[in-house]
Amino acid sequence: MMVSFLGSLPLGTLNIAAMQISITDGVMAAILFSAGSLLAEIIYVRISLVAMDWIRKQEKILKVLEWITLVIVLALAVASFYAASHPSVSKNAILDSPMPKFILGFVMSALNPVQIPFWFGWSTVLFTKKVLLPRNDHYNTYIIGIGIGTFIGNCVFIFGGRLVADKISNNQDILNWVIGGIFALTALFQLWRIARKKDPINKMVQEEEKRKAEEKDKSTD
């Protein structure tokens, strides 16, 4: 729960999107969006716990998802900038889609591969330290903790967004410029990661090889 909570606090696509939804559509809509994104994250974690070897082999799929994520973040940035520069448009066209907010959150989270290496790495560490054991009761408790931590982290942005919106209710364009800027910076960071070939699969393979090498050294000693 603590790892999930702290991991949800850095600015990212999903928590900023939840904040913008809370500002334009209200807290309940943002909570539904976060619940959908949380469901996708939990599914990813559950799969990673029982199919680590399979995940490592899906290099092409994860690379495609990285590019899709980049396109989505760029579109969110453009939509926010458009809303900021057109006073008659107060909402982000993408986040204001007719798609139910729960489904929108699920889809955006499912297309975001950043969380895969994050939880793969933590799960590997916990398995190595024998804090997490390959048992269903451990898996279920682990996933519940992740869900609670992520939800609390998202609530910081959801209710924080509402607080900011109430303070500057007559300056919606400023909020859109700021949020658009955050999305633009996120897109640049994503592009930098892709250009540097810091893809999730390479990171996971390197971590696993390092862990195996350490275990081999210990057994040799």
- Note down pLDDT in tens along the chain; length 221 residues: 888 888 888 777 788 888 888 888 888 999 999 999 999 989 888 887 877 656 656 667 667 767 777 787 787 778 777 777 766 555 666 677 788 999 999 988 888 767 777 777 788 778 877 888 888 888 889 999 999 999 999 998 888 877 776 666 556 667 777 777 777 887 787 777 777 765 444 555 555 556 556 666 666 66
Asked if 114 and 189 touch (Cβ cutoff 8 Å), the reply is: no
CA-to-CA distance for 57 and 63, rounded, in angstroms?
12
Residue 195 DSSP one-character state: H
* Structural domain total, the chain: 1
CA-to-CA distance for 187 and 16, rounded, in angstroms?
13
CA-to-CA distance for 3 and 150, rounded, in angstroms?
9
CA-to-CA distance for 30 and 39, rounded, in angstroms?
14
**First-residue to last-residue Cα distance in the chain:** 36
Residue 148: CB atoms within 10 A of its CB come to 14
Q: How far is CA 68 from the centre of its chain?
A: 14
Range of the domain at 106: 2-220
This model's pTM is above 0.75: no
Q: Which residues have CB under 8 Å from 116's CB, separation 6+? A: 44, 48, 55, 62, 200, 204
